[in-house]
Structure 1
Amino acid sequence: MNLNMNRTIRRSLISMIVLGMLSCSQSPNSTPVKKIGFLRDQYAEAAFQIDTLLNKSPFEMAHWGVKIIRANTGEVIYERNAKKMFMPASNMKLYSTSAALCLLGPDFTYRTTFWTDGTIDETGVLTGNIYIQGSGDPTWSWRFYDNNYDSLFIRFADSIKAQGITKINGSIVGDDNIFDDIPLGYSWSWDDEPYYYGAQISGLSFNENYIDYRLTPGKIGENARIDPYPNTDFVKVQNDLLTAPIDSVTDFENGRKRGQNSGWFTGRISAADSARWDAITVENPTLFTGYVLKQFLERQGIEVTGEPIDGDDWTAQVDYERYQPIFTHTSQPLSEIIAKVNKPSQNFIAETLQKTLGAILGDDGSSKSGIKVQMALYDSLGMDTRNLTIRDGSGLSRLDLVSPNTTASLLQMMWNHPDRDIFITSLPISGVDGTIEKRMVGTIAEGRVHAKTGYVSYVRSLSGYLWTLGGEPIIFTLMVNHYTVPTSLANKIQDTICTILVGMDYE
């Protein structure tokens, strides 16, 4: 009898517990019940989940580096291999853009002056040359002019016409001496040279020193149509791209001969495709700029009798004190420029910013000088630069090395900086824009993560800021090196970590 009574009591207790649990469960319209951490607080719970995720991930052969802190206090939530050195890939752009913003200021602009050593007669003929004194301006691109390849040069043509010039009996001479003549970043791979992300760096540049090509299928068995943007034949393209039947898979390659402006497209494009786009870089950006400008001016009715010339090949001495200015072009402010670096992860502009730091604040317009300026800034702000090796401005170099500690310190520095909002606004937003536009979509992290990605082969990084559901700002850096599984798996783990952090419930 006592046994039956005990069973009855146990059943009653269980029923009460179950009913209590059911009554506490949330319906879709109910008021959320605050979670109670019996064993761990929210920080420890998040750290436990992250640790479990990384320990069980298919990355046994790889190395993860993680640092997560509260932005307002610096309190560490989680860290793994935080002192170890990692290749950051394009996370290096965080270092370049933050240094430029801190040292040059958000209102900094590039100013490029067009000069002449000649005179204009009553008929509008300029007898003499036009000199473009390059300032290192990286904004002469469709990216800054509503995706229009001609917009900038239309302005230049109008400015020249405003001086009454109808013909130029002379040459267009490009002066790129604001920077050194090293066209590529330190230790860049030679086989990246033809592709837009490996474009050459110059003190005078146009269209980020590559040409876009629109590939349109023609009749089956015939060559596809290849149209250059901007409209120029500076790169001579061999067209071996054939139009294949509609049930074919598009498969083509393109490239450029080293040291030459000779490119090619080969392979097939399906007749079912509307159009494809690809790009080829140019050799000698300074000459490219003058060449395209000459072509454009002539299409605008301004004849240029001489050939475009790279100032390094100009035999006469350039003396701006004896020349007359025609007009000066001013770029967009730096606050806009860094957004064009970070959101799409644009290598060329990042490299240009680094050389600009060297030209304005260092010994010369070289990457080496720009890096010295950057390191001096970080030292002055108390960052531990022993775990920081910078070799370029974009992160394309595999000799760049940073630690999660150092990147977290950089992000903390910018969180406390007066231009914090400008810097954070320059970063991609999860599910909204930039390189994480398609990541974390449909999760609680959508729209709450502002972070810079990084990728080169076997390297994936994501670092920046996020806000929890309770509005708490978090600084995080997530790096993985030497993985051989698909990069999508690295993305998934990084996105899951961000979602865990966003879901932390702070009072």
Structure 2
Amino acid sequence: MHDRSGCFAARSCNKFHGVAVNAVGNVTRIVSMKFAPLLISVPLAWSMAFQSLSVYAQTPLPLPPRTQPSPLPPRTPAPARPTNGGVCPAQLGNSLDRIVNGLPANWSVLVQTQAAPGTRRNLYSRNPFTQLAPASNNKIFTTAAALVRLGAQYQIRTPVLGNSNTPDLATLRVIGQGDPSFGNAQLNSLTQQLRQRGIRQVNQLIGDDTAFRGAEFNPNWNPTHRGEPYAPLINSLMLNQNSTYSYAISNPGNNFVGEFRSRLASAGIQVKSSTLVKRTPAPVGEVELASVISPPLSSLIFSTNQDSDNAYAEALLKTLGRLQDPNSLDTTTSGIAAVRSILTELGVNANRYRMVDGSGLASSNRASAEAFVQTLQAMALRPDAATFRRSLPVGGVSGTLSSRFRGTPAQGIVSAKTGTISGVVALSGYVTPRNYSPIVFSILVNSGNSASTVRASVDSLVVALTRLQDC
């Protein structure tokens, strides 16, 4: 008999639908045919496998958990590109390397952002610690030290003393203090003051030339420079920078006394004799009858740096030396010691330069780009920073840079000290790019190439700095 379960009464049935198990353990699966059921006998193990497949077929498989798509990696921004011919900081090194490598020479170069210590960034360097001859870049050291020690309002006073305040004088003494700005106008002023006081006769005119001690012609200067207008003798009784347009005065102290005596005579003051003293200080008790004062130091360093005036630089160095050690027998040597002390206080590494004069005329001066950048950085942080910067020539505008950088992006935004002697070209100062933060730089080149060739490469470096922009 067939029941609804699909099993026959004569055989035992398991619980699997449509499957019967006989006595020998085989499974009889009922297969529906069109006319009659067909009994197929298969082993039990196969039947169990079929049942397992049947169960899986009837039970839906669980779906795998939905996974979120992995986020895309952050997109790397495309390298920034300069605009309007600008230069990105990342490109500056290659740009400057091409210029430097294109001129075989000894280079010392350092370019930094102008900032306080600890926040400065080196934008470019090439042998920044190498010490080379700096030429007139030495004046940066001298004028910076003078401004720090003396102050922008410091003035040099040149007095005239007499043994009495009467028309007839036994002695009339003019005391030189090393004023490099002292010229014909100042000499005329002293003469007029004496005339207005009623002085009519002088038995002896004394020129006191004792303030500066030591050699008037720096022993480190090339002897062939002696007599040249750019290498004047430096004494304390200076007149017209001790030079003419074509030559240096050979005996400046006597020249001063002689010129003063001539002017006194022209003013109706008779002078019977005159002399120059270099080691005898003025006696106590003399009366001041006249005096002139120099322009403030801010003006003196302006003339020093704008015109690259060697006489001014050496006089300022000796002034520092005299104040540093009034008993010094060599005010140049004591002046150099004063500069080193002042610059060290400013944070300048004393091992990165060696001075033998104040002007840079000596080829044996040595300095690194780092030393100049450290000095310029320190001066930029001082209250008198503007005074110092104004003393530097401006590209295409003033001083020794008036004819350089004209018609370039550097015109009007570069303030720097030039330097040129045989085999040396130097330029150190500040740049204010239109699209970047202020920059301090120093470029020193010692080379056998012509100065004009080297100068062209130096100027190309500076123009590249003016094109810097944030990108």
Instruction: Please give the TM-score of this superposition, normalised by the length of structure 1.
Output: 0.73
- Alignment pair present for 1:129 and 2:129: no
The CA distance in 1 between the partners of 2:414 and 2:282, in whole Å, is 51
Q: 1:41 to 1:189 in 2, by over 3 A?
A: closer
SS at the partner of 2:313? helix
The CA distance in 2 between the partners of 1:487 and 1:41, in whole Å, is 27
The CA distance in 2 between the partners of 1:379 and 1:118, in whole Å, is 47
Query: Mean Cα displacement is larger for which, 378-387 or 447-456?
Result: 378-387
Match of 1:427 in 2: 392
Give the drift of 1:332: 0.8
**Counterpart selection for 1:490 from 430, 440, 454:** 454
SS at the partner of 1:279? coil
| CA RMSD in angstroms, aligned pairs only | 1.9
Residue identity opposite 2:293 in structure 1: T
The question of whether the paired residues in 1 share the 8 Å contact of 2:93 and 2:124 is answered with yes
Match of 1:506 in 2: 470
Q: 1:45 to 1:325 in 2, by over 3 A?
A: same
Residue identity opposite 1:458 in structure 2: G
Deviations 1:449-505 (A, max 9, x none): 100011110001000001102252110101110x22221111111111111110111
Q: 1:319 to 1:153 in 2, by over 3 A?
A: closer
Match of 2:185 in 1: 151
Match of 2:414 in 1: 449
Please show how residues 3-402 of structure 1 align to structure 2 within 5 Å. 35-36=81-82, 42-57=88-103, 60=104, 62-72=105-115, 73-118=119-164, 120=166, 124=167, 126-141=168-183, 150-165=184-199, 167-210=200-243, 212=244, 278-306=245-273, 308-312=274-278, 319-363=282-326, 364=328, 366-402=331-367
The question of whether the paired residues in 1 share the 8 Å contact of 2:82 and 2:469 is answered with no
Larger Rg: 2
Structure 1 unmatched ranges of 5 or more: 1-33, 142-149, 213-277
**Counterpart selection for 2:430 from 465, 477, 480:** 465
Residue identity opposite 1:176 in structure 2: D
Give the drift of 1:189: 1.0
Give the fraction of aligned pairs with identical amino acids, expressed as a percent.
Answer: 28
The question of whether the paired residues in 1 share the 8 Å contact of 2:89 and 2:469 is answered with no
Give the drift of 1:383: 2.2
Give the drift of 1:107: 0.8
The question of whether the paired residues in 2 share the 8 Å contact of 1:460 and 1:487 is answered with yes
SS at the partner of 2:304? helix
The question of whether the paired residues in 1 share the 8 Å contact of 2:171 and 2:204 is answered with yes
Structure 2 unmatched ranges of 5 or more: 1-79
The question of whether the paired residues in 2 share the 8 Å contact of 1:117 and 1:128 is answered with yes
Give the drift of 1:301: 2.9
SS at the partner of 1:450? strand
Instruction: Please give the TM-score of this superposition, normalised by the length of structure 2.
Output: 0.78
The CA distance in 2 between the partners of 1:291 and 1:198, in whole Å, is 22
The CA distance in 2 between the partners of 1:452 and 1:352, in whole Å, is 18
Give the drift of 1:41: 7.5
Match of 1:20 in 2: none
The CA distance in 2 between the partners of 1:439 and 1:378, in whole Å, is 30
The question of whether the paired residues in 2 share the 8 Å contact of 1:362 and 1:373 is answered with no
Give the drift of 1:380: 2.4
SS at the partner of 2:445? strand
SS at the partner of 1:281? coil
Count of residues in correspondence between the two structures: 385
Match of 1:233 in 2: none
Residue identity opposite 2:309 in structure 1: Q
SS at the partner of 1:114? strand
SS at the partner of 1:423? helix
Give the drift of 1:388: 1.3
SS at the partner of 1:488? helix
> Which structure 1 residue ranges, 4+ long, deviate > 3 Å from structure 2?
34-37, 317-320
Deviations 1:225-249 (A, max 9, x none): xxxxxxxxxxxxxxxxxxxxxxxxx
Give the drift of 1:36: 4.3
Deviations 1:134-184 (A, max 9, x none): 21211103xxxxxxxx4222211211112111x323222111211103102
Give the drift of 1:119: 5.4
